[in-house]
Amino acid sequence: MQRKLRTACRLTRAEWGAFLPAWVLLLWVDLGLRLRPFPRLQAWAAPKATAYSHAVSEQAALAEIRLVQAQVNRAARNHLYPMTCLRRSLVSQRMLARRGIPTALRLGVQKEAGALKAHAWLEHEGEAVGEAEDLEEKYYNL
Protein backbone atom coordinates (compact mmCIF):
# COMPACT_ATOMS: atom_id res chain seq x y z
CA MET A 1 0.00 0.00 0.00
CA GLN A 2 2.83 2.40 0.82
CA ARG A 3 4.42 1.71 -2.56
CA LYS A 4 1.17 2.59 -4.33
CA LEU A 5 0.89 5.83 -2.34
CA ARG A 6 4.48 6.79 -3.18
CA THR A 7 3.79 6.07 -6.85
CA ALA A 8 0.60 8.15 -6.73
CA CYS A 9 2.49 11.08 -5.20
CA ARG A 10 4.98 11.02 -8.07
CA LEU A 11 2.37 11.25 -10.83
CA THR A 12 2.49 14.43 -12.86
CA ARG A 13 -0.54 16.62 -13.45
CA ALA A 14 -0.91 15.18 -16.99
CA GLU A 15 -0.73 11.63 -15.63
CA TRP A 16 -3.41 12.37 -13.02
CA GLY A 17 -5.44 14.02 -15.77
CA ALA A 18 -5.44 10.73 -17.66
CA PHE A 19 -5.53 8.31 -14.72
CA LEU A 20 -8.68 9.58 -13.00
CA PRO A 21 -10.89 9.66 -16.13
CA ALA A 22 -9.50 6.25 -17.14
CA TRP A 23 -10.47 4.74 -13.78
CA VAL A 24 -14.03 6.08 -14.03
CA LEU A 25 -14.39 5.16 -17.71
CA LEU A 26 -13.24 1.59 -17.04
CA LEU A 27 -16.13 1.20 -14.63
CA TRP A 28 -18.50 2.85 -17.12
CA VAL A 29 -17.36 0.59 -19.99
CA ASP A 30 -17.61 -2.51 -17.80
CA LEU A 31 -21.20 -1.61 -16.98
CA GLY A 32 -21.90 -0.80 -20.63
CA LEU A 33 -20.60 -4.18 -21.79
CA ARG A 34 -22.95 -5.87 -19.36
CA LEU A 35 -26.05 -3.81 -20.24
CA ARG A 36 -25.73 -2.46 -23.79
CA PRO A 37 -25.25 -3.99 -27.23
CA PHE A 38 -21.58 -4.01 -28.19
CA PRO A 39 -21.99 -1.95 -31.41
CA ARG A 40 -23.53 0.89 -29.41
CA LEU A 41 -20.65 0.92 -26.93
CA GLN A 42 -18.14 0.70 -29.75
CA ALA A 43 -19.73 3.71 -31.47
CA TRP A 44 -19.47 5.65 -28.19
CA ALA A 45 -15.77 4.75 -27.87
CA ALA A 46 -14.93 5.83 -31.42
CA PRO A 47 -17.04 8.88 -32.27
CA LYS A 48 -17.02 10.26 -35.78
CA ALA A 49 -13.79 12.01 -36.69
CA THR A 50 -15.52 15.36 -36.95
CA ALA A 51 -16.71 15.20 -33.33
CA TYR A 52 -13.28 16.01 -31.89
CA SER A 53 -11.29 17.03 -34.94
CA HIS A 54 -8.29 19.21 -34.30
CA ALA A 55 -4.84 18.93 -35.79
CA VAL A 56 -2.37 16.82 -33.86
CA SER A 57 1.15 16.20 -35.12
CA GLU A 58 2.23 12.59 -35.41
CA GLN A 59 4.90 13.06 -32.74
CA ALA A 60 2.37 14.63 -30.35
CA ALA A 61 -0.11 11.86 -31.17
CA LEU A 62 2.41 9.15 -30.26
CA ALA A 63 3.23 10.91 -26.97
CA GLU A 64 -0.49 11.15 -26.13
CA ILE A 65 -1.02 7.50 -27.03
CA ARG A 66 1.80 6.45 -24.69
CA LEU A 67 0.45 8.66 -21.88
CA VAL A 68 -3.14 7.47 -22.24
CA GLN A 69 -2.26 3.79 -22.53
CA ALA A 70 0.08 3.93 -19.54
CA GLN A 71 -2.57 5.56 -17.36
CA VAL A 72 -5.38 3.29 -18.59
CA ASN A 73 -3.20 0.28 -17.77
CA ARG A 74 -2.34 1.78 -14.36
CA ALA A 75 -6.04 2.42 -13.66
CA ALA A 76 -6.89 -1.15 -14.74
CA ARG A 77 -4.25 -2.61 -12.40
CA ASN A 78 -5.60 -0.54 -9.50
CA HIS A 79 -9.30 -1.11 -10.07
CA LEU A 80 -11.97 -2.84 -8.02
CA TYR A 81 -11.60 -6.02 -10.05
CA PRO A 82 -9.60 -7.09 -13.13
CA MET A 83 -10.26 -5.11 -16.31
CA THR A 84 -9.84 -7.02 -19.57
CA CYS A 85 -8.06 -5.91 -22.71
CA LEU A 86 -11.42 -5.11 -24.35
CA ARG A 87 -12.34 -2.70 -21.56
CA ARG A 88 -8.90 -1.08 -21.64
CA SER A 89 -8.98 -0.75 -25.43
CA LEU A 90 -12.43 0.86 -25.48
CA VAL A 91 -11.45 3.36 -22.78
CA SER A 92 -8.16 4.18 -24.53
CA GLN A 93 -10.00 4.62 -27.83
CA ARG A 94 -12.50 7.04 -26.26
CA MET A 95 -9.82 9.06 -24.48
CA LEU A 96 -7.68 9.29 -27.62
CA ALA A 97 -10.66 10.27 -29.77
CA ARG A 98 -11.35 13.15 -27.40
CA ARG A 99 -7.75 14.26 -28.00
CA GLY A 100 -8.25 14.16 -31.77
CA ILE A 101 -6.31 10.94 -32.30
CA PRO A 102 -8.18 8.36 -34.39
CA THR A 103 -7.67 4.68 -33.63
CA ALA A 104 -9.24 1.44 -34.78
CA LEU A 105 -10.31 -1.32 -32.41
CA ARG A 106 -9.06 -4.74 -33.46
CA LEU A 107 -10.25 -8.07 -32.11
CA GLY A 108 -8.30 -11.26 -32.64
CA VAL A 109 -8.42 -14.89 -31.64
CA GLN A 110 -5.90 -17.70 -31.45
CA LYS A 111 -6.03 -21.33 -30.49
CA GLU A 112 -3.65 -22.12 -27.68
CA ALA A 113 -3.39 -25.59 -26.13
CA GLY A 114 -6.78 -26.52 -27.57
CA ALA A 115 -8.50 -23.45 -26.08
CA LEU A 116 -9.65 -20.35 -27.89
CA LYS A 117 -7.98 -17.16 -26.65
CA ALA A 118 -9.16 -13.65 -27.61
CA HIS A 119 -7.44 -10.26 -27.46
CA ALA A 120 -8.44 -6.66 -28.18
CA TRP A 121 -6.03 -3.89 -29.14
CA LEU A 122 -5.90 -0.51 -30.86
CA GLU A 123 -4.24 0.50 -34.09
CA HIS A 124 -3.16 3.98 -35.07
CA GLU A 125 -2.12 4.64 -38.66
CA GLY A 126 -2.21 0.87 -39.30
CA GLU A 127 0.19 0.01 -36.47
CA ALA A 128 -0.74 -1.77 -33.24
CA VAL A 129 -0.05 0.58 -30.34
CA GLY A 130 1.35 -0.62 -27.04
CA GLU A 131 1.51 -4.25 -28.15
CA ALA A 132 4.16 -6.82 -29.03
CA GLU A 133 5.44 -6.66 -32.61
CA ASP A 134 4.34 -10.22 -33.40
CA LEU A 135 0.76 -9.55 -32.28
CA GLU A 136 -0.82 -9.83 -35.71
CA GLU A 137 1.05 -13.07 -36.36
CA LYS A 138 -0.30 -14.61 -33.14
CA TYR A 139 -3.95 -13.59 -33.46
CA TYR A 140 -6.34 -14.16 -36.32
CA ASN A 141 -7.86 -10.72 -36.85
CA LEU A 142 -11.68 -10.75 -36.84
pLDDT in tens, 65-122: 999 999 999 999 999 999 999 999 999 999 999 999 999 999 999 888 888 889 999 9
Tell me if 88 sits within 8 A of 73, measured CB to CB.
Answer: yes
pTM: 0.87
Contacts of 141 (CB under 8 A, 6+ apart): 106, 107, 108
- Concatenated DSSP letters of 79-124: SSS---HHHHHHHHHHHHHHTT---EEEEEEEEETTEEEEEEEEEE
User: With 80 as the cut, is the pLDDT of residue 126 above it?
Assistant: yes
| 10-43 burial: b if 16+ Cβ within 10 Å, else e | eeeeeeeebbebbbebbbbbbebeeeeeeeebee
What is the pLDDT, as a whole number, of residue 51? 54
| Kind and range of the H or E run holding 141 | strand 140-141
Alpha-carbon torsion (45, 46, 47, 51), positive or negative: positive
Encode pLDDT of 6-52 as tens digits.
Answer: 777 788 898 999 999 999 999 999 999 999 999 999 999 998 755 55
Pairing relationship of beta strands 115-124 and 104-112 according to DSSP bridges: antiparallel
